[in-house]
Structure formats: structure tokens, C-alpha cells
Chain A
Amino acid sequence: MGTMSGKGKYAIDTSPKVHDEVKHTTCYMCACRCGIKVHLQDGRIRYIEGNRDHPVNKGVLCAKGAAGIMNHYSPARLTKPLIRVGERGKGEFREVEWEEALAVIARWLGEVRQSDPRKLAFFTGRDQSQALTGWWAQQFGTPNYAAHGGLCAVNMAAAGFYTIGGSFWEFGEPDWERTRYFMMLGVAEDHHSNPIKIGLGKLKGRPPERDAKFVSVNPVKTGYSAIADEWLGIRPGTDGLFVLALIHELLRADKIDLPFLVRYSNAPWLIVQDPGGATDGLVARDDQGRPLCWDTATNKTASALSPEVKPAMVGQFKLPDGRRVAPVFHLMAARYLDPQYAPEEAEKQTGIPAETIRRIASEMAHAAFDQEIVIETPWVDWAGRRHDRFVGRPVSILAMRGIAAHSNGFHTCRAIHLLQILLGSIDTPGGFRYCAPYPKPVPPRQRPTGRTHEIVPGHAMPGPPLGFPSGPEQLLVEPDGRARRIDKAFSWEAPLAIHGLMHMVIANAWRGDPYPIDTLFLYMANMSWNSSMNTSGTMQMLTDWDGATGNYKIPHIIYSDAYYSEMVAYADVVLPDTTYLERHDCISLLDRPISDADGAADGIRQPVLKPDRDVRPFQDVLLDLGARLGLPGMVDEFGGPKYPGGYPDYIVNHERRPGIGLLAGWRGILGEHQGKGPVNPRQIEKYKQNQCFWRHELADNQKFYKHANRAYLEWATQMGFIDRPEQVVLNIYCEPLQRFRLAAEGHGPLQPPVALRQRVATYCDPLPIWYRPTVDEEIAPTSFPLHAITQRPMAMYHSWGSQNAWLRQIHNANRLFINRRTAQWLNIGDDDWVWVISHHGRIKAQARLMDGVNRNTVWTWNAVGKRAGAWNLAPDAPEVKRGFLLNHLIPELIADRNGGLLPNADPITGQAAWYDLRVRIEKALPEEAGETVPQFDPPNAPPNQAPAPSILRYGAHFRGRPGEDIPPAGPVTEPRS
């Protein structure tokens, strides 16, 4: 087997065996879903590497992916179903068989379903099976379902879907190969991590004649910002004004792509100008509902969708019925040419000098219009007109949570998309590019389900819980305006809460507002720790007792996780999940795609190792529970389980609509179809033969202008991505918001409660606005002068099993990073201990001074801190003693001026506004140094949890030194010394 090299005592084997077998699957160490090759030797993992053929990572692998071995063999893995026997939160459990655990749950849920299905709140965290879990909630009959998007970046997704029919991350990407000017806003070390890194490497390594500039707009200069050509250390929460100032400059200089706007956006659409009227601000439409423009050829209104018109872009016109109208472009340009958006005004809020803003606008215009990119590929547009080439504006933008997690995030994200549209860089060479199945109609057609008549005890709901409302009648509210969902998504408090408000579920259920629930069912959601705001308060709510009922305020809590995370101790029934290497999974185009701009793709996970513990994949368990409950679609005609083979059976055989299932590849009995086609019983085998993914490369004439490209739109229709091959019109003007605003002004049958009217009218502006984060108005900024935000360490981001033995040697304690000059004023030195105080609470942390951070901002790494007793870490682990969460400082509710309570969230989408946090810093007394505050009593370890080893010699076995190694799986040998 080996090949010896070197002489005598220095002879070594340079060709040792590297595996008995290689299995392809998909990583789950974060949300990127990279392809991996798992090398197995002697029944254990020799190593994991990136799959060179995989569309997401093309062979590379991040630190988390390479550390997957340590997650798989973690001593924190759960080993058996548990039922609580002691007080909630104490970690007192007995081990039970699966049958007992499932019978208990089936009894609870059966009763809920027959009485009021809404009393089940089913929320999944970083779930990658939302195509199943959302459908399960629908079949159960509860609208109270969502994943963790409300906490993460729903502002980004919602603004994208309501503006361009796509978004960043898995929905679209910069044209890394061709862009000449790349701006990253607030991204930091998170999201789509390997594709971004691959892209940045390409961008920075270009030859001088095609070089690109990289600008990073971020209060903190770490990670990607460190390699940017220019770092703009902006004040948190002011990015929207910065972007609108760029737009001001581009409009002032007329450096916009007017032909692009006419063809591809709603810029020419006429908007009714009738202040006080019931149709004020709505799009003027003809009797067939088509939007109107002013045709300068005929000097009359005409359908704005017609390819024949020559629309006016500015001017005031009259409709035949006498109402005055103006084009969207006119309203938009008038707004942003106003001096309030001038760079000098933006400088006051953002801290970025006006001359820098002017220069950046100039550089963007230069890249877009003086460095135009042409690809000589003929294509045909939606109207059947042939174009000889694709013309591109090589400016691209990427934004993520640093923009999203503010209460002004939705409008800021809209402003970013508006900037892209004005530059003509939406799905053009060098610009932003959609990833299939996007673009979709603006907004996508699916409406949320959960109105009164849609919820019937014992029955499924007629549609999925989540969707895209386009007006008040599609909200989920009672006639008096109160919310119908437990998280108040799709209510007047958060009309476009398209990902739900996971962060409000526990607080609302505890308060019984809008109603109490019976069962909280969570999956991969660490709600008693880093996935909640107000973590300390959340822990109390989970254990709070209701004297009236003699039960907990939240009577039943079911939780599924693979590890002993902080949340497990709060569950009444614990369902132990497998690791990602022990299961089937489906990376579906119905859920969160892994496509790239040049092709559509989906994939699976396959079991690489057999579990050595009494654990089951959560998706199998969910289908089992569905069958026990007799949920429609989960039982056959005899009442037995419809998918006895569990999740892989469902992945292959379930059809969402005729011919459309979870996987798009190799449909049909011979695997001859893609997208739509009959079930193929051998589909999963086909995926396994193809390295666990499917990808279809678009034809060259389909690759750009997908929103208006006939060949692409027809293909997308055949695939079932869209219903009809119609142009996706980019929405500069967001009419759904105006409908909510009109309701707030007293129009229509459905109006917000009086207390919310001003809020709805203010924030539901159909054109992007910037406002100071809402929390600033509620607290005195002078008492809390500093912004406090988090960044994800790249080696930990989304690393839900972050007790990882290797990764915790990179990050195991977090500091509060403070600008050196700010710290000087506060008389704080490196390593000093400080109190961090918000209007909600105080924590103690250790300081680290740095230069590369906005002077008004402090920050720390997120989700490094752990609770004592969790994750099978030593109680004195640095994560416990020197790690901390900012979450304790952030309330989930804030008081409004009327004395009411509102979610600490974006008023449009309900996105948790955890980056709005304001604090002040006080130096701790010398005797207070040493450990972070708060500290919590450790819960008990689960029964029979093996102690964590005091030494790891992973891999000794492969060098022929068995006996030194940890066992191939299961608990490790040596007790802690």
C-alpha cells in the first residue's frame, strides 16, 4: 500500500492509505450547505474535505466543515429520549423508550388538534427542512409555525422579495467574475461563507486591466473588511441614509440607467395623487387591473405592461376620471433629490465624510457607465424582441445581517435594491445575479394562511402558514385588528413578517397575548440562550408557574436537538436527533436553494455512519408523529403511515403539486425529467451516484436579465418555479405598503387598531425611507451613547454544535471590543473588566481595545458564551467564565409613546432589532474582575451522559496506534481528571 521515501532511519511512507471508502454528502456545520467527501477508514472518519465538483464550495471547506469530525464525536450528544421528572430548567430527566416519548407527544398534540390547533406553536431554528416542517404545520392545522428567519435576516429577504423578486445569499449573488466595483454592507463574517470567500479571492486576484474595487461598509474592521480596498466604519443603523445619499448624488448627476428603468422597473407606472382619498398612492390601473403609464406617443394613458408604449418618466397627468397621477420615477426622484439626502446631511448621521460619499457615488457611476460590460450573446426578451448582446453595469452589492437586524432594516434593504435598480445592475453582467428558482413575481403569490375560517379543529389548513401579503385583507388579524398568530406575524405590528417572529413566541405565550398556548414544539432553536433576546427573562418565562391552572404558563415544551444545548433542560420531552452524518436530508428548491447564478441545483445528505445511540432523525420522527395523529398526507387509506420509510421515503414520493416534489433532479421512472415529472423510486440512488447533488446549467442566452428573459422565464415555468413566463417587474414603488398605509389613514374595511395607526402610516412608506432606529426614540441616547453589536467569528458562525473540541481552541472566550480613543476617554485599558449597561440590564465583560471599530460602537463575537452545565463542558470552561452574550441586554418588547408594548423589531417585517442595542460602559471595580456576569446555576447533566474526556488523541488509530484513540463513536474513555 505505501510508498517509502527517504533513506534509512529517515525512510517514511508517503502513500499511506487514506480511506476504505469515500462517501459524498452535504455539510451542516453552518447554513452554506457545501458538498463534502467523508473519508472513512475502519468504520470511523479519517477526514472530511470539500467536494471539488460541488456548485457551492467547489472543493474548498471552511474551518467549521473541517471540524465536523469533532461535532460528530462530541461528548454532548444526546443518546436517548428523555422525559422531565424534576422542575423545568433543572435538567432532571429519566430516559424513556421512543414509544413512550412519542405516545406522550401524540396525546398532547391530539388533544390540541381537536380543540384549538393554534395552541400548538411549532418553531424550528436553523432548520434546513422547512419544506417538510412548514407543510407538517399546515397539515396539523396551526398557523403558528416559522423558522429562525425573524431573528436572522428577514428584512433582507422581505425587502428583496417585495422589490426585485429575489434577494442576496441563496437567492442571488454578485457576478464575482466580472464585477468592477463591489460593495459589502454590514455582512461581516457570516452567511454564504465559502461562496463569498471564493468570490473575494477571485475579485482581488484579477489582472490590473480588469481589476475591481472592494468597499466594505461596516462599523467593524475584521474578516472580509480587513481585505477591502476601502473600509467605511459607519455608525450602526445609518446605512440606509448612506445609500440614499449615494442615490441623491446619482440622480443629481443623472448617472442612472433610464432605459433600464423604463423596461424593467415600475418607474413609469402612474401613482394616484389624491391626498386623503381612498386610492391615494395606489397604482393607477385599467379595467383589467393592468398598471397604467403615460404614453408620450399618444399623450394618453396606456397599459404600462405593453411593450409598445413610450412612457413619460416625469410630469403630472390626469386620469379620465379626473384624478391626478404622477410616474413612480417622478415621485422617487423628487424625494431623493431633496437636500435632506445630500451627502452633508448623511455625514451627520453616518459619520462618513460628505466628500467620501460623493467620491463613492462617483466611483460607482464610473464603474457602471464607463466600464460597461458586453457579452456578445443574442437573447430574446419577454416581449419577443431580439437583443444582440447582454449589456452589464459591473457594480455589485451584498448585504446581510448588519443591515437586517435593525428596526429600519427593511427600508435600508429596499434602498440598497433601489440603488442597484437605478444603476441598471440587476441580473446584468458584472452586477447582482439571481439564483434559481428566483426571480419570482413581486411579491411572490403565496399568501399566509390562518384566518378564522382557515383554522378548523381536526383539519389541515388550506395553505401554508407563511406567505407574502399584498394588502390588509391578507393579514392574519381579527376584525378588531388583534393578531391571530402567537408571534403576531402578519398583523399590524409586523405586516410583512414573512419568516415569522420566533423571538416573540415565548414572551407572547407567557403573557397569553394574543392567547395562551398549550404546547411549544421547538427544533434546533436554542431559545433559552443565544437565539432569544432577553435571555435571562426568557429563562424565567419558560419556568414560570401559573397559580390559576397549577401548571407552567407554557404547559408543554417539546424539544429536539442532537446535543445537550442550553434549551434541553427546559423541555418536558426531549427527542434526540442524529448528527448530520447519520441522516438523510433534502436541500430542496422548495426551501432554500443552493443554486448559483449560472445554474439550478439541489441536493441531499446521506447517512455516512450509523448512529451508535438511541437517536432518530427529527424528520423521521415528525412523519411518525404525523401518522400517529392521522394528519392528512401522512397516513394512507388504511390509516397506516404513508411514508413508512421515513424522510427518504417522503423526499422521493411526496408531491407538493402534481409532478413537483422536494427534489428536482432525475424525476420520472427513468430519471428522464427535471423540475416537473413523475416520482422516481430510485431518485435518491441517482443523487448518491451524482455525489449527492443535482445541477442544471442554464444555456448562455438564459443567464442574464432573467427577470425579462423569455428563454429563462419559459424554462422557469416548465420547472414549476413560476406559474407563467411573465416579466418580473422590479418594484421601486412598493404598492402593498401603501395599502397598509391607506388602512391606517382610515380607508377600507380592515384598519389597524387606533394605537397602531400612526406607526403603520409612518413606516409603511411605498418608497424607501431612513429613520433613526426606533429604540433611539424610546430611550435617552445620551444615557446610552454607544452602539453594541455582534459579529460572527468565521470559525464559529452558525456552528450550532459550537462546543467543538477544535473550534473552541480558536474561540472560547469573548471580549468587548472598544475603540481605543473611546476607551481612553472612559479610562478603560486593555483587559480591564467593564460593566455594559443598557436600559434593560447589565452584564460584565472583559475589554479589548482596537482601532478598527467605529468610535461610537462596541462589539463582541456572538454565541461564544455558554451556560455552565450545558454542552458537556467543564463548569469552569472559558465559554462560561469569560464568555458572554449581549442578548441579556436586549429586551424583546419596548414601550411606545402611548404606553403600549411593541416588539423590539422592524415595524414592517418584525425582524428582531438586536443590532439597535444602545449601551454605556462603566469600569468595574478591581474586586469585580475575573468572570463575566450573569452566571447561571448549571442544570444537571442528562442521565448516563458520559464524562467528557480529559485528553483526545483522535487519529492515533490511523497511525497504527490503537488503544490510544478515542473509540470510533460513542462516549470517550477517560474520565475527567
Chain B
Amino acid sequence: MTSVPHRTAKKLGLVIDLDICVGCHACAVACKEWNSGGHMAPLTDENPYGADPLGVWFNRVHTYEAGVGGNSRTVHFPRSCLHCEKPACVEVCPTGASYKRAEDGIVLVNEDLCIGCKLCSWACPYGAREYDYDSGTMKKCTLCVDRIYNENLEEAERVPACVSACPVSARHFGDLGDPNSDISELVREREGYDLMPEMGFKPVNKYLPPRPRRNKVGDTGAPAALDSAAPLSATHGAETSSNPLLRWVDRALSR
């Protein structure tokens, strides 16, 4: 029942660098912290000190191994709303609570219109929606819409909380609709990709693949092994092969 804007003035989103994400959860907790008092506050935690703590998180980091044996790769994969250009969650919303902003493409939920039917979370193939059982409403990443334009913050702070906190600088924010933006350039240069493009939702957020690992002979320009040093000692040439220490005898060195 909701219509999605044909095109948005901007396509604000995140670019996440899987080459350097170490899985530290800084982004996830910074997100939780900012948003606990933010646009969709609170991010309720049920049983926070009990047997089965269950809270609302807009950003979660999954860690898993890809491949088997010694060459397996440990992957740290941060996951949040991708602010799709064709968001299934918005299209299925029966009340118009889920919407995509025409100004910047951010997908939001108007909680006052949300009836908690969860159709959106069923529709989202990325598992990005978070249901707050306490409020009975659906919540999700706002791309920190209450930070990025916030005139009460210094200019440098007007980025999503996850980007601001990331210690390895694995998260980038910008307008992916502008081919000349830094972030678009980064995606081109590093061959950033869409998650599950075959589904056709056209996610705005991109992921940067790991760079090739330099773990083979020749990758750094060094030979496979060092050659034994040639005898350097003029006076002890023949002996040097039997006593390698002698190669250092005639080295003129000053302190």
C-alpha cells in the first residue's frame, strides 16, 4: 500500500570494508548506545540480567568461517539495514509505517503508524529489522538520521555512530547516488558489491571484499629463502665456509 519513491535525491548509505573488519563489535555497541536515546528510543532489552537477554540492536556482527582446513577464512560480517532502492519492507507495509525518504533514500519506520504485524521483517531478505516486543513496534537502522543532519553536533560528528566509532575505519558513509563522491570512488576502486543482488532489491549499502592475501612466495618481492652469505673475509676466505663467524672478522666498523 505504500509507494516507494522512484528516485531519491541522494542515496545515503554505508560501505563496509571486509578486508579490515576485525569483528570487535564497536560499531554494534556505538549504534546501540546512540540509538537507545535516539530517533527510535528505547532499544529495549528484555531480561538484561537474566537467563535469556534479548535486546533490540540495529547493527549486529556475525563471525563465521568460510572454507575448511588451514586456508579457511575467519569472516567478521557486520549487518544492518541496507536502505534498498526497492525495499521489500516498505512495499509490504500495510499501514504506511515503513517508508523510504525521497530526500536521501533512508528507510525509516513511523512508529505511530506501526501495528507490529512484522510483515516487513518477513519480507526483508537481509534480516535487518528488529521487533521491539515491549513497544510492539518494528525498529531498524535509521542511518542515524538524527545525527547526520544534526545542527547540535559538530560537522565532523555528523556521521552515523557506527562510522564514528569504528577503530579500524572499516565503515564509510556518504552519497552512493553521486558517482563522484569519495564513497562511490571507493566502491569502484575496491570493487564493492551488493549483497544478494539477484533478489533485485538494489541495496544501497555496499561491502568491500578482502584484498588478496600476500602469503605466497614472491608476493612481497622477496626470494623464497635467503642465500648463505658469501665469504667476506679476504684473509680467511677458505676457512669461512667451515667457520661462518669468520665472515665478520674483517668488517671495519666504527662506533
Contact = CB atoms under 8 A, between A and B. Distances in A.
Interface of A: 1, 3, 5-6, 9-10, 12-19, 41, 46-50, 52, 57, 59-67, 69, 75, 181, 189, 193-194, 197-198, 200-202, 204-205, 213, 221-230, 233, 249-255, 258-259, 262-263, 268, 293, 296, 304, 306-315, 329-330, 333-334, 337, 355, 358-359, 361-363, 365-367, 370, 794-795, 803, 805-810, 812, 820, 850-852, 872-874, 876-878, 881, 948-959, 961, 964-965, 976
Interface stretch (B71-79, B115-123, B198-206): B71-79
Given A268-B255, A366-B221, A948 B164 contact: no
B22 A359 contact: no
B48 A852 contact: no
Contact of A226 (B22, B112, B148): B22
User: Interface range on chain B: under 10, 10 to 19, 20 to 34, or 35 or more?
Assistant: 35 or more
B255 A262 contact: yes
Contacts of A19: 152
Contact of B51 (A315, A366, A878): A878
Contacts of A803: 49
B29 interface: yes
B220 interface: yes
Contacts of A50: 164-165
A254 B247 contact: yes
B101 interface: yes
Given A258-B251, A262-B255, A958-B41, A362 B226 contact: yes
16 contacts: A49-B30, A61-B26, A65-B26, A66-B33, A193-B167, A226-B73, A230-B214, A310-B252, A337-B244, A355-B224, A366-B221, A806-B55, A808-B48, A874-B50, A959-B37, A976-B50
Contacts of A296: 252
Interface in B222-244: 222-229, 232, 244
A869 to B, nearest CB: 12
Given A806-B55, A877-B50, A950-B47, A959 B42 contact: yes
Interface in B36-75: 36-39, 41-55, 57, 63, 65, 67-70, 72-75
Contacts of B47: 874, 950-951
Report the 4 A-B pairs with minimum CB-CB distance, sorted nearest first: A254-B229, A366-B222, A253-B226, A201-B168
Interface string B98-129: 01010100001010110000000000000000
B228 A808 contact: no
A205 B214 contact: no
Given A198-B167, A306-B255, A223 B214 contact: no
B165 A949 contact: no
Contacts of B223: 362, 366
Nearest to B24: A794
A252 B240 CA distance: 12
B74 A852 contact: yes
B145 interface: yes
Interface of B: 19-26, 28-30, 32-39, 41-55, 57, 63, 65, 67-70, 72-76, 96, 99, 101, 103, 108, 110, 112-113, 134, 145-146, 148-153, 156-157, 161, 164-170, 210-211, 213-215, 217, 219-229, 232, 244-249, 251-255
A876 B48 contact: no
B20 A200 contact: yes
Nearest to A48: B33
Given A75-B49, A213-B214, A223-B23, 15 more contacts: A6-B101, A46-B37, A49-B157, A63-B30, A66-B26, A200-B20, A205-B169, A333-B244, A337-B245, A806-B55, A809-B57, A810-B28, A852-B65, A953-B134, A956-B42
Contacts of B251: 258, 313
Contacts of B76: 226
A252 B170 CA distance: 41
Contacts of B23: 222-223, 226, 794
Contacts of B229: 252-255
Contacts of A953: 42, 44, 134
A364 to B, nearest CB: 8
Contacts of B44: 951-953
A794 B25 contact: yes
Contacts of B68: 820, 851
Contacts of B224: 355, 358-359, 362
A310 B248 contact: no
A876 B37 contact: no
B24 A309 contact: no
Contacts of B53: 805, 808-809, 812
B168 A9 contact: no
Contacts of B72: 221, 851-852
Contact of B255 (A59, A310, A358, A820): A310
A309 B36 contact: no
Given A201-B170, A877-B50, A60 B165 contact: yes
Nearest to B156: A52
Contact of B253 (A229, A259, A955): A259
A1 B246 CA distance: 80
Contacts of B49: 75, 803, 805, 872-874, 877, 948-949, 976
Contact of A230 (B24, B96, B215): B215
Nearest to B246: A314
Contacts of A61: 26, 30, 165, 167
B191 to A, nearest CB: 15
A12 B29 contact: no
Contacts of A363: 220, 222
A49 B19 CA distance: 25
Given A850-B65, A955-B37, A362 B24 contact: no
Nearest to B111: A959
A223 B24 contact: yes
Contacts of B70: 233, 851
A204 B212 CA distance: 11
Nearest to B52: A878
A19 B152 CA distance: 9
B168 A197 contact: yes
B202 to A, nearest CB: 21
Contacts of B26: 60-63, 65-66
Of B21, B51, B153, B211, which is in contact with the most chain A CB atoms at under 10 Å from its CB? B51
Contacts of A252: 226, 228-229, 244
A520 to B, nearest CB: 30
A520 B42 CA distance: 44
Contact of B37 (A47, A361, A809): A47
A202 B166 CA distance: 13
Contacts of B249: 312, 314-315
A948 B48 CA distance: 8
B22 A229 contact: no
Contacts of A60: 26, 164-167
Contacts of A850: 65
B48 A47 contact: no
Given A47-B33, A224-B22, A262 B150 contact: no
A14 B150 contact: yes
A791 to B, nearest CB: 12
B16 to A, nearest CB: 13
Contacts of B39: 12, 16, 959
A358 B226 CA distance: 7
A956 B41 contact: yes
Contacts of B244: 251-252, 333, 337
A254 B232 contact: yes
Contacts of B170: 201
A250 B255 contact: no
Nearest to A357: B225
B146 A16 contact: yes
A15 B134 contact: no
A5 B9 CA distance: 14
Contacts of A205: 20, 169
A200 B168 CA distance: 7
B50 A955 contact: no
A250 B226 contact: yes
Most B-side CB within 10 Å, residue of A5, A181, A255, A293:
A5
